[in-house]
Structure 1
Amino acid sequence: MVRIALSWSGGKDSCMALHELINRGDEVACLLTTVPQETGKTFAHNEDIKKMEAQAESLGIPLELVHCTYDTYTEDFLEELVKLKTKYRLDAIAFGDMYLEGHREWGQKLADAAGLKAVYPLWSEQSEMLTMLNKFINSGYKAEVIKVREDVLPLDWVGRLLDESFIKDISEKDVCPMGESGEYHTFVYDGPLFKKEVRS
């Protein structure tokens, strides 16, 4: 059995990655969440740490916070990953990226430097993103939009649940349906792997 650390944002992509890893028999030893000192909240999603801790508790998987700065993000991540490799006897680190080559290259270099395998359980073609969104919504997980890029999506989408109505509306926009370029971010609060709902 492969022991894996999963890069964890709390959103749909990392949740889908977790689901895939567990379904194929891998052991997710811990969840890794980066926390820039500049904000004290999660990187990119800007989520409250207490909500991340509640997620991890409901999932029954340890959460490890990677404290970093924007300027030294990679170096800080690598330093912490090397420590966690020993602590959890890790074989690999997994990411929820789907098709952006630049993200995959960064993760591969990070894993190589730490002496780990890089795993991308959701890797697919860009043309498959609407199918991926449907798969997530039909999987039984529940998520809400917590952040949008206001240059591409309306601010009033914050708070929307990912459901059939969301699929219809996002498919009419000129954006990636899965928000792979940061068009929107989500927080997953319930689903098959959760012991209890974690909405605030």
Structure 2
Amino acid sequence: MALKYFPLLILVLALATSKRTLAGDPDILYDFIVPQNNTTVDGTFFTYTGLRGVFNGVPETFKVTKASLTEFPALDGQSVSYAVLQFPANGGLNPPHTHPRSAELLFLVAGSLEVGFVDTKNVLYTQKLQVGDLFVFPKGLVHYQYNTQPNMPSFAVSAFGSANAGTVSVPLSVFATGIDDEILAKSFKTDIDTIKKIKVGLTSK
């Protein structure tokens, strides 16, 4: 009688002892991680100055300035990073994209923004943000930000629950990675010439 439950017992034990698949940052066993080539650890190691002056000008096109693991090695293992987003007036756009390893918490510090994301049921959630508003984009979901104000730039600060949240641009990942034109034409229910025009438009800017 007990033998018929043996396969179930093996499955339970295997699940209990297997390593979890991590979609975010792993926990660390130390207070912080120091790169191997770093010989001195003081307050400077924990300071990042790359965002100084970032609000002093307005770029001609959308611009993102990151403070992630690549720019700020002290973030390794800390599961946090930032980005400053600058949107010029009248059409400044952060095109649809995803962050596969983190949610994004956006804080609007100047101007206004139209933001939105699409869930796994293809439901679109949008909101018009004013200064002081926060908006969360759930981890891995396609989202965007857009400045529709004709004469006012917008600035936002985004926080991420990962030192390396990653960014996957939807337009570029679909049209600029070598996916066959015929596959794209069938997927978007259009013709190959239209796909080629889209590709030229993306790669020429």
TM-score under structure 2 length normalisation? 0.26
Q: Which has the higher helix share?
A: 1
TM-score normalized by the length of structure 1: 0.27
Of structures 1 and 2, the larger Rg is shown by 2
More strand, by proportion: 2
